[in-house]
Structures are given as structure tokens and as C-alpha cells.
Homo-oligomer: A and B are copies of this chain.
């Protein structure tokens, strides 16, 4: 199989590419509109067919590339079924494995950062691999003060769904703000300052309630845009409009006529 961890620096988002080499089918987890062209180039360079975009949750910090990727590649858009998005093609639910060729992702309903957040568990034969979305980050976790977020709920999601996984489970988060890329379940149990080292639910809630984070700078256009699977709404401010203006398929994706190949 092919695996790539791709980074979008403005929102510090990790997009994950998983491909089944046998069929050439692949999925992009949490693709970002800002890196649409980079992602299309990776797919093109690796000769892959994008079967799906797959969201962990309704993002408030970036616009999804889902809609544009579907427009340019014909892929399907998969989102948590609980999001009930008219624009999506597939609704994801815990208990129903999600297949990309021969690869299988197991959705885990893990609310708390948002009320419909899902993580995705994969087994590579050596370790389990958790795409933890915004629920669990490296020595951190997603904020719980917007989008029906709830600290108690997030604590239970992480304890029950994540910390019950094998210690060696690799954790790939949807963000890191300090250039880190990976952690493990045991490392987070040992080191996560918010809910590792046996922190109680009450301690976690107190920590989350005292974070005093700034208002999310993109939330006012990202959430309505992502409710349309990544369509740019009218209220995107000028400094963030760049990615909205990509309306044409990049040249390298447009097939050349046969006579022009060599």
C-alpha cells in the first residue's frame, strides 16, 4: 500500500493518503482546499485513482477540498452520517467498515470536539493505526468550546475508544502545531498533559474550561462552507479567498491529445 502524511501549513492540518496499490484506489482523509493542487499532483504522480474523500468531522479551521476533488476526479465524498449532509455521497457510521479497494478503515464515533466526530482505525499488519482527527492530538486534544463540543464527552471518547487500544497503536492526528507527526496510545497515556497520567474527567474538564483560546479565525466561513462539502461561501474574507478561486482543473491533469505525447 501507499501512505502519505501531507501537511497544510496555514491551519496546520494533516491530510492522509491511503492507497491500495493492487487496485490503485485511494482515499484522502481530511483534504484541505488550500492544498487542492498539491493533493491532485500527488495523486497524479503516484498514478492513483481517488475513490473517496473522507472527513473526520465538520472542520471550523479550514475549508474541505472534498467538493473540488469530486469535481476534478469524480471521487465520492464520505462524511459521518450524523452530519446529514445533502452534498455528501456516503454516510459513515461506527460498526460499518469503510473499504478502499482491499483496505479497511473502522470508524470510531468519538464526539466531544464536535458532536459528530469520527476517528478511523486501520490495521497495517504490524500495528493498529489510528487517524484520530481532532479528538486526540499529540500531547493535546481538540478544543471543546464550539460546534456542540463538550469536554466530558471528549474525555469519555478518548478513554473508552482510544485508550482501550493496544499500547503500540500509532496515532496520526489531524493537526500538530509544533512540527510533530506521530504519537502512540501509550505515549499519550504517559505524556498527554490534559488527560494522560491518569487525569480524571474533572481535571480534564477544568483544564479545557481554562484554555482561553482565541475565537477561531475561519469558523464563520469554514463551517457553512463545509456544510456544503467545502464550497466557498460568499463571506470568505479577501485574505482567505485564494483557494476559492481555483475553478479550473490544473493543466497537468488535463489529458493531452495522443499526437502531443512525445
A170 CA to B1 CA, complexed, in Å: 15
Partner-binding segment picked from A48-56, A111-119, A183-191, A245-253: A183-191
Q: Which residues of chain B come closer than 8 Å to A126, judged between CB atoms?
A: 1, 3, 124-126, 129
Say yes or no: A168-B3 contact (C-beta < 8 A), given A182-B183, A187-B182, A191-B180.
yes
Evaluate contact between B170 and A180: CB separation under 8 angstroms. Answer: no
Q: How far is the CA of A124 from the CA of B1 in the complex (A)?
A: 10
The answer to the question of A5 belonging to the interface, with a C-beta cut-off of 8 Å to chain B, is: yes
Who on chain B is nearest to A2 by CB? B126
Instruction: Give this chain's copy count.
Output: 2
Residues of chain B lying within 8 A (CB to CB) of residue A170: 170, 182
> Scoring A residues 159 to 190 as 1 if CB is less than 8 Å from chain B, else 0, what string do you get?
00000000110100000001111111011001
Q: A124-B125, A126-B1 are in contact. Are A190 and B186 (CB under 8 A)?
A: no
At the interface, yes or no: A127 with Cβ under 8 Å from chain B? yes
Q: In whole Å, how far is A48's beta carbon from the nearest beta carbon of chain B? A: 15
A4: interface (CB < 8 Å): yes
Q: Encode A11-45 as 1/0 by CB contact (under 8 A) with B.
A: 00000000000000000000000000000000000
Q: Looking at the assembled complex, report how far the CB atom of A168 sits from the nearest CB atom of chain B, in whole angstroms.
A: 6
Q: Which residue of B lies closest to A191 (CB)?
A: B179
Instruction: Name A3's contact: one of B3, B127, B187, B190 (CB within 8 Å).
Output: B127
Tell me the count of chain A residues lying within 8 A, CB to CB, of chain B. Answer: 23
Residues of chain B within 8 A (CB-CB) of A124 are 124-127
Q: Which chain B residue lies CB-closest to A187? A: B181
CB A105 to nearest CB in B, in angstroms, measures: 13
A124 to B187, CA, bound (A): 21
CB-defined contacts of A1 to chain B, threshold 8 Å = 125-126
Closest to A7 in B: B186
Shortest CB–CB separation between residue A151 and chain B, in angstroms? 24
What are the 5 tightest A-B residue pairs by CB atom distance, in nearest-first order? A124-B126, A179-B190, A181-B187, A181-B184, A3-B126
Extra contacts, 19 of them, besides A125-B126, A181-B184, A182-B187 (Cβ < 8 A), are A1-B125, A1-B126, A3-B126, A5-B167, A5-B184, A5-B186, A124-B124, A124-B126, A125-B125, A126-B126, A170-B170, A178-B191, A179-B190, A179-B191, A180-B187, A181-B183, A181-B186, A181-B187, A182-B183
19 A-B pairs with CB atoms under 8 Å apart are A3-B168, A4-B168, A5-B167, A5-B168, A5-B186, A125-B125, A126-B126, A126-B129, A170-B170, A178-B191, A179-B187, A179-B190, A179-B191, A180-B191, A181-B184, A181-B186, A182-B182, A182-B183, A182-B184
